[in-house]
Structure 1
Amino acid sequence: MTEDFGQMRELHPDRDSETLNLSFWPGRVPLRQRWRNNGLSADFLGDYVTTFFPLDDSTPASAPRQAQIRGAVSFVANELLENAMKFHDAETPEPITIQLSLDAELITFHESNAIGRAATEEFKVFIEHLRAADPGELYLQQLEHNAVSERSAGLGYLTMINDYGAELAWRFEPLDGGACRVTTQVTLKL
């Protein structure tokens, strides 16, 4: 049974939107080598989006706006890809996918990957905590926790919310063998 946390937007590409899809098969390359590819892929998505916000010499604000949008897209994409690579169940014959959709008002990311049963339950608990807490307070708590721990769970999501005003949602879809496909949706308003 499919389970949603937050409001999932269904993407319907049309003439007034742009969509870019990337797929990765982790396991082919060790995780450590994937980190570099994550950054390159995230920067590619950031550069791709900026082509829809060209610099305009007659509008001085266009350069900072373009840089802000590029930075936001690169950050979000990198965080989504790193989480996906870190938690993906390589035993499941599912790729990691990231889809970026751009329309007049929104930039929407859909990142999907497979996770095991135990990771699914743990992630749902984290999502419930994230959705119930004040994001600013939770961010400060997580920074304090990270100062004494090597684990930085959720800091990327909290940064998306606090620094970029992102809206997050998740969809869990069961797969054969007890695994689950989780789709993380991040929406940025333009």
Structure 2
Amino acid sequence: MTTLYGPGDIAIGMRESISRVTLFDGPLELKWHHCATTSDFFAELFALPFHASRNDYKEVRHNIGYLVNELIENALKFREPGEIVVEAAMEQGNFKVKVTNVIAEASAAEFQRLLAEITMGDPADHLIRRIEANAEDADATGSGLGLLTLMSDYGARLAWIFSPTEAVNRIHLETYATIPVSEMRN
């Protein structure tokens, strides 16, 4: 069964031309530095049209880089062996990104419980509660702080689609995000 968390309007695909990068799990083994390198690539690529204003360029580059890095890090951290596909586009003044990977069924169930909680209500309130809970429990993991920061501080809209795969105990995960960038352009 396919399950959607978040607003469905951003999870319907990208209509404009997209840029796509596939991170293959091969001899190089996917590592954390691949997240930063890939997110820097997308940030630079999509911030270039804003180069006329140094401040706008820096803000757009930072926001896109942070968003893409957070999503790729999550995909890398929780994935099953296989590739991670990152697709991005600029549409109607918004940067849109989709990260696709495969996760274990148990990880999917745990993530869905987290998403059911953090996608309801005010992200800023959830963020504060999570920070306080993590301060009390130093061993806390998978708290969603990165996702909540994106929603609360960056105005990101996020959605996730979980779909079955042919492989046993594996779930196909598509993570969608969009952040506004049009108001930065002169």
Which TM-score tier does this pair reach, normalised by the shorter chain? 0.7 to 0.9
Which amino acid is the alignment partner of residue 112 of structure 1? T
Please name the residue that 2:102 is paired with.
114
Residue deviations 1:51-93 (CA, integer Å, cap 9, x gap): 12222xxxxxx22111111001100111111111110011xxx
Provide the TM-score with structure 2 as the length reference.
0.87
Match for residue 172 of structure 1 among 159, 162, 171: 162
SS of the equivalent of 2:15 reads: coil
Provide the TM-score with structure 1 as the length reference.
0.85
Match for residue 149 of structure 1 among 116, 138, 148: 138
CA distance in 1, matches of 2:64, 2:87: 12
Please name the residue that 2:124 is paired with.
136
**Which stretch shows the higher mean deviation, 129-138 or 164-173?**
129-138
Residue deviations 1:163-184 (CA, integer Å, cap 9, x gap): 1101011111110213111111
Q: 1:30 to 1:40 in 2, by over 3 A?
A: same
Q: Structure 2: state its 5+ residue gaps.
A: 182-186
Please name the residue that 2:19 is paired with.
20
CA distance in 2, matches of 1:158, 1:11: 23
Please tell me whether residue 10 in structure 1 is matched to residue 13 in structure 2. yes
Which amino acid is the alignment partner of residue 162 of structure 1? S
Q: Structure 1: state its 5+ residue gaps.
A: 56-61
Cα RMSD, aligned residues only? 1.6
After TM superposition, give the deviation of residue 49 of structure 1 in Å: 0.8
CA distance in 1, matches of 2:26, 2:73: 14
1:142–1:152: 8 Å Cα contact kept in structure 2?
A: no
**Which stretch shows the higher mean deviation, 71-80 or 173-182?**
173-182
**Which stretch shows the higher mean deviation, 69-78 or 96-105?**
96-105
Please name the residue that 2:184 is paired with.
none
Which amino acid is the alignment partner of residue 154 of structure 1? G
After TM superposition, give the deviation of residue 30 of structure 1 in Å: 4.6
CA distance in 2, matches of 1:29, 1:144: 38
Q: Give matches, 1:1-190, under 5 Å.
A: 1-6=1-6, 7=8, 8-13=11-16, 18-26=17-25, 28-30=27-29, 34-55=31-52, 62-90=53-81, 94-147=82-135, 148-150=137-139, 151=141, 153-176=143-166, 177-190=168-181
1:146–1:152: 8 Å Cα contact kept in structure 2?
A: no
CA distance in 2, matches of 1:173, 1:117: 10
After TM superposition, give the deviation of residue 152 of structure 1 in Å: 5.2
Q: 1:81 to 1:28 in 2, by over 3 A?
A: farther
